[in-house]
């Protein structure tokens, strides 16, 4: 295409404005155009690999099976035990222990050396049930010797628990970790609650507990 002249040709008719029109076109910038920028091939391959890996992961992951992690309870474990007609549902002493005591005395019942005394093989646990119940009802603070070691900590009171709950947790700690002592009944807890009504605040260590004994 021949380059259009900048000026109207000499002698051009007044209505022949083609030349000046071309000049205006040349003055303007070119219209912007969209250029084609394809994704780099390695990025496309990376995306494809990620997608394939994701599909494989979902397909290969077992679902609906018992969890290998967590506390491994299933829905069946969480359902309250079906109580026999008329009976009050059984209270799980071990579960109560896990919720109320294990933070200090540990699930192993071994306590934490120098801080929280052991319950496994502890003379206070397998000894007189009245003393044991009293510790739970009112708490304990001051020096106490457990399995030859002296502790001086603070054991909170659990008097707000129901008689049945205290009986269940004490029966549990008296029968696990090799402990072998008679179960504690809710009636014993009730009787001891009444007998120690005058006790305000925690017992002052082992000496105060010994005074309770037979």
- The footprint of ligand HEC (CB under 6 A) covers 100-101, 103-105, 116-119, 122, 124-125, 132, 135-136, 140-142, 144, 146, 151-156, 158, 169, 173, 205
Task: Give the span between the Cα atoms of 168 and 187, in whole angstroms.
Answer: 12
Is residue 138 within 8 A of residue 198, CB to CB? The reply is: no
Name the residue nearer to ligand HEC (CB basis): 100 or 190: 100
The string over 17-43, giving b where at least 16 C-beta atoms fall within 10 Å of a residue's C-beta and e elsewhere, is eeeeeeeeeeeeeeeeeeeeeeeeeee
Q: How far is the CB of 156 from ligand HEC (least distance, A)?
A: 5
Name the residue nearer to ligand HEC (CB basis): 19 or 145: 145
Q: How far is the CB of 193 from ligand HEC (least distance, A)?
A: 15
Q: How far is the CB of 151 from ligand HEC (least distance, A)?
A: 4
Task: Give the span between the Cα atoms of 17 and 144, in whole angstroms.
Answer: 114
Backbone angles phi, psi at 158, to 5 degrees: -120, 30
Residues in the chain: 214
Name the residue nearer to ligand HEC (CB basis): 20 or 149: 149
Q: How far is CA 108 from CA 51, 105, 182, 198, in A?
A: 46, 8, 20, 34
Name the residue nearer to ligand HEC (CB basis): 23 or 110: 110
Q: How far is the CB of 70 from ligand HEC (least distance, A)?
A: 23
Name the residue nearer to ligand HEC (CB basis): 47 or 154: 154
Q: How far is the CB of 97 from ligand HEC (least distance, A)?
A: 6
Name the residue nearer to ligand HEC (CB basis): 23 or 181: 181
Q: How far is the CB of 42 from ligand HEC (least distance, A)?
A: 58
Burial class (CB in 10 A: 0-12, 13-18, 19+), 202: middle
């Amino acid at each position: 295409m021949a380059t259009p002249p900048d000026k109207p040709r000499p002698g051009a008719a007044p209505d022949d404005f083609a030349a000046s029109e071309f000049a205006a076109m040349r003055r303007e910038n070119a219209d912007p155009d969209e250029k084609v920028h394809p994704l780099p091939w390695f990025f496309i391959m990376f995306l494809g690999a990620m997608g394939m890996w994701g599909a494989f992961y979902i397909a290969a992951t077992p679902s609906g099976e018992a969890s290998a992690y967590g506390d491994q309870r299933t829905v069946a474990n969480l359902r309250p035990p079906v109580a026999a007609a008329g009976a009050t549902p059984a209270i799980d002493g071990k579960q109560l222990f896990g919720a109320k005591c294990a933070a200090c005395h540990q699930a192993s019942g071994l306590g934490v050396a120098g801080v929280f005394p052991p319950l496994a093989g502890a003379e206070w646990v397998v000894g007189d049930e009245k003393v044991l119940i009293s510790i739970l009802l009112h708490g304990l603070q001051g020096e106490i010797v457990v399995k030859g070691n002296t502790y001086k900590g603070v054991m909170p009171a659990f008097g707000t628990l129901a008689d049945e709950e205290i009986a269940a947790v004490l029966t549990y700690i008296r029968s696990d970790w090799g402990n072998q002592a008679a179960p504690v009944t809710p009636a014993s807890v009730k009787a001891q609650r009444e007998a120690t009504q005058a006790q305000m605040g925690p017992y002052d260590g082992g000496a105060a507990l010994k005074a309770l004994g037979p």
